[in-house]
Amino acid sequence: MGNIRNIVVLTGAGISAESGIQTFRASDGLWEDHRIEDVATPEAYQRDPDMVHRFYDARRAAVQTKSPNAAHEALAYLEGAWPGEFLLVTQNVDDLHERAGSKQLIHMHGELAQAWCTLCDQRHPWATPLIDYPPCPSCASPYSLRPDIVWFGEMPYRMDEIYDALARCDLFVSIGTSGNVYPAAGFVREARSHGARTLELNMEPSEGSAWFTESRQGPATQLVPQWVHQILGF
Ligand code: OAD
């Protein structure tokens, strides 16, 4: 892997699967008979906020009982050891990357561990349920805190920074994502259009597998540490 200076890594639910967090499109893809697309929308929240809160409260509580795995840890290690630019973009709303030690990290789909006040626009670290409609710690308004999650139809966070990094990177690596959800699914083509090499590490070929220079199949806890050793020249 010669001539690589800047790296962008994109992760999805597959990197947290071996920590015991269910992926989105595994098995029947349903939650209490709802499709994920029906829970994760502003319309669903308007129609039935209790249901949406129950879904995210359950996921927030579940994540708190899980730990980062060897793949999260390998990426944090790489960031610390890499002499060039390194950016980790995750679609995941869990906090396993930061708990593993990653610093240059963008949660493009938001964070379970954060609540957003739709009235005063403040964001707050959040570890407890939202279904009881606690008041916003900043403006004291009840009923205004929602999970700080980007729902279908909403704009992912910090896209300008992500596209800047994709334009500058020499290597784009996609890990544990099915390639079903845009704009993340389009990052491989964006990076390629600027001349980057592209590598996919996933349990199975993703929707966009053909766009990658190289695609490796297997569990993230094996493939990611292997790749990190390889790129650091161990
Ligand atoms: P998906 O559930 O769609 O895809 C997970 C991918 O990880 C699949 O391709 C699996 O084959 C792969 N996989 C599973 N276990 C793995 C393992 N141990 N090692 C490596 N790969 C493994 O999840 P995402 O692509 O992340 O959006 O889904 C994208 C977005 O859709 C999510 O961020 C979420 C969802 O709706 C929002 O919440 C806004």
Each residue of 61-73: pLDDT tens digit?
999 999 999 999 9
Each residue of 101-115: pLDDT tens digit?
999 999 999 999 999
Report the C-alpha dihedral over residues 171, 2, 69, 10, rounded to 10 degrees: 0
Q: Using most ligand atoms within 8 A of CB, pick from 34, 37, 91 the residue to mutate for ligand 1.
A: 91
Q: Taking the complete model, does pTM exceed 0.85, yes or no?
A: yes
* Range name among 27-31, 49-53, 100-104, 107-111 with the lowest pLDDT average: 27-31
State how far the alpha carbon of 157 is from the alpha carbons of 72, 98, 151, 213, in Å: 21, 17, 11, 27
Is residue 2's pLDDT more than 70? no
| Cβ 163 under 6 angstroms from ligand 1 | no
Amino acid at position 87, single letter: L
Is residue 52's pLDDT more than 70? yes
User: Angle formed by the axes of helices 70-81 and 220-231, to 10°?
Assistant: 20
What pLDDT, on a 0 to 100 scale, did the predictor assign at position 31? 59
Res. 45 pLDDT band, cuts 50 70 90:
very high
